[in-house]
Structures are given as structure tokens and as C-alpha cells.
Amino acid sequence: MAAVLDQLALATYAAMDTQLNMATLSQESALLNNLQKRRKLEHGKTIDVKARYKRVNGGSYEGSDTRNTERVEQFFAGSINWKKNDVVVTINEDDLVRNAGTNIPDLIAINDFRRIPKGTQKTLINLLAKEFMGGFEDLNYNQCVQLWGDGTGNSGKDITGLRAIASTTLAYAGISVSELSTFEWLGEASGVKDNIWATKQLDLSSATVTPDDIGTMINDITRGRLMKIEIYMPMDIWLSLEMQLEGDKLREGADAELGFQRIRWPRFNAELFPDPEAPANTIIGFAEKHVEYLVNPGMDYLFSGFLQPTDQHTITGYIQLMSQLRCDDRAKTFKIINANP
């Protein structure tokens, strides 16, 4: 491809430098926005998921006792695959002619971007920057939708999202819900010994969700420990809980610049967010430290460069992202289903 187009792309990224961090953050989904802010860069052909499910040998003893020195494998290892997403960035020749006074053949015939008049350079950069901004927004939208799925969408090419993680029936990371056995204690919501590798679930059978229901689920996953909890739900349920929590919460913008709302519930160190992609009548929460949004640095909002046009009427490139959602302890997640506001 003509060098001038690669130079144009680099110049546009440089001009957008101060906006890039904000542009790559979701402006539609509180869930994705929060995950992106604490994202983790990771390499590897696949993503390891290690779940601790056994205790090592030990206990009280006297000096003459024979000790059990047999090694106990504490962790069970599973894995998930990276998932790739891209969006197309296209500049139409009509836009070039109307805004910059040039066509595609003349533009790609230039070997050095610096030979283009300064005013035209700025016009071209602004034109491409608008396309990039739209591309970032749409790439994030695809991520928002997939984060609520189970990874089977688009023939298994979608992110393995919360529907797979917060499940009492679906395997995750190649590990079935019953494979790691059960806890030694009874679950707060279920009243039975829950599976170690499964979410905590409460079925409200179309009843109105209350703060007590949320508190029960938080206690179920924390067992009295102080953890930062994030909870996501549809807007109608969020508004209902906001009214019910009056006097026991702090309401403020999660990010005033992006316009997200949240309810801070200090009693449980929890934050409640509405999310536009949350399934109806469903609430999902998790301990923040146990759910990670991973990005492969080799494909981190990577621009492919412009491809050789086939019809000489557009120039096209791709913004590419390789990412995945990882949970290392499904019992630190919960799901409330069939909940009404």
C-alpha cells in the first residue's frame, strides 16, 4: 500500500494521542468501562484459569506425631481461548474530494505525507480521526454485547462472558460445575452444599427484588470477608433498588465525564450499576478481584494499516482487538434470576 496512507494513519494516531485513552473506554456500558479501567495485559496461546479447590495437609499435632507430608495439588487448571474482534474503518473517495480536494489515486501516488499542504494534512487527519472514533465506539459496543453472553455466539467466536461464568449448569474453562466437588458448608441462598465451581444463584420467581436479596447474595460469596463487589442489572431494577435503599446508600456518577450512574452501598462495600445490555429480570454480581478483563498486547486496538483498494473508490483498514474475560473463582460470583423491579 502507498506509504502516504500509513503515514496518514500514524499522524492521525499521534494527533489523537490525548484522546485515545478516553476513546477506547466504553461510553455505553458501565460493565465494560469498569473492566477496561483495570484491564490486564497478558500473552499466551491460550489463557490459563487456575482454581484452588483443595486444602493442604495440616492441623494440630504433638511433637511425636507422624506428619502427613504427601503433596496436595491445590489447584485445578483449565483454559479459555482468546477471542478476536475487529471493525472496518473506511474513507470514501467522495469525502476525500469534497473535504480535501483530492481523490484516491492522486493520494496514494504521493510518497511522502509531508509533501501534502499543511491545511490538507489537517483535513485528512480530522477525516480519519472521525472514522477511528466511530470504530472504537462500535468495537466497544461489540464487546458490551459479548460480555453478557456465554461465548457460543457467532459459532463460538464471541467472548466467554458472564452468562458462562455466572452459571450453575454450564462448564467454564473446560471444567464442569460438579468437577471440583462441593463446599463443606451450606449456601446462604440455596440451603445446600453448593458446587465449588459454580455461581451462587437465587430464583425470585417473579417477585420484587429487595436489598435483603442482594445482601444475602453478597454474604453468600464473601462469607463475611470485606471484598469490593460490583453488581450489574437492567435500569428498571436499578431504579427500584435505588428507591428501596434510600438512606442506606450514596448515589453518584461512576464517571461524571462518561455519564455512568452508580449506587454505592457502604454496608457491603458494593457498587450497583445499570447496564444497557444486562438481560431482563437478571442481576449479576462478583468480587472485583476475581473477574478480569484481559487484552493481548499484540492486538490492542491495533490498526491494520490501509489495504489496497480494489475499486479505487474507498480505502479500508481494520481496528483489531484480542481480548477475553477470566474468572478464577466462580463461587465469588452470584446471579439473581426472575427478578422484578
Find out whether 153 and 161 touch, Cβ atoms under 8 Å: no
Q: How far apart are CA 82 and CA 160, in angstroms?
A: 9
Residue 52 confidence class, pLDDT cut points 50, 70, 90: low
Which pairing describes strands 283-287 and 333-337: parallel, antiparallel, or unpaired? antiparallel
Strand partners, 232: 273, 284
Res 3 pLDDT > 90? no
Question: pLDDT value at position 57?
Answer: 63
**Does residue 60 register a pLDDT over 50?**
yes
Q: How do the domains of the chain map onto residue ranges?
A: 3-53+77-337
Q: What's phi and psi for 169, nearest 5 deg?
A: -130, -30
Q: Is 337 helix (H, G, I), strand (E, B) or coil?
A: strand
Minimal CA–CA distance to 135: which of 104, 92, 93, 90? 90
- Average pLDDT of the residues in 300-308: 84
Least confident among 51-60, 80-89, 161-170, 270-279: 51-60
- Residue 106: pLDDT band (50, 70, 90) is confident
Most confident range, picked from 9-13, 35-39, 258-262: 35-39
Q: How far apart are CA 177 and CA 327, in angstroms?
A: 14
State the average pLDDT over residues 60-72. Answer: 70
Q: Under a CB-based contact definition with an 8 Å cutoff, are residues 322 and 83 in contact?
A: yes
DSSP H stretches of helix in 24-61: 30-37
Taking 50 as the threshold, does the pLDDT of residue 254 lie above it? no
Mean pLDDT of the chain: 88
245 pLDDT above the threshold of 50: yes
> What confidence score (pLDDT) does residue 90 get?
86
Q: What is the average pLDDT across 140-161?
A: 96
Which residue would you say has higher pLDDT here, 303 or 247? 303
Q: pLDDT above 70 covers what percent of the chain?
A: 89
Q: What is the pLDDT of residues 156-203, one digit of tens each?
A: 999 999 999 999 999 999 999 999 899 999 999 999 999 999 999 999
d(CA 244, CA 215): 13
Q: Answer yes or no: are the C-beta atoms of 246 and 287 closer than 8 Å.
A: no
What's the pLDDT score for residue 6? 83
pTM beyond 0.85: the answer is: yes
User: What is the spatial distance between Cα 55 and Cα 303, in angstroms, rounded to a whole number?
Assistant: 47
Give the pLDDT of residue 326: 97
Query: Residue 194: which residues within 8 A CB-CB, separation 6 or more?
Result: 182, 183, 187, 200, 331
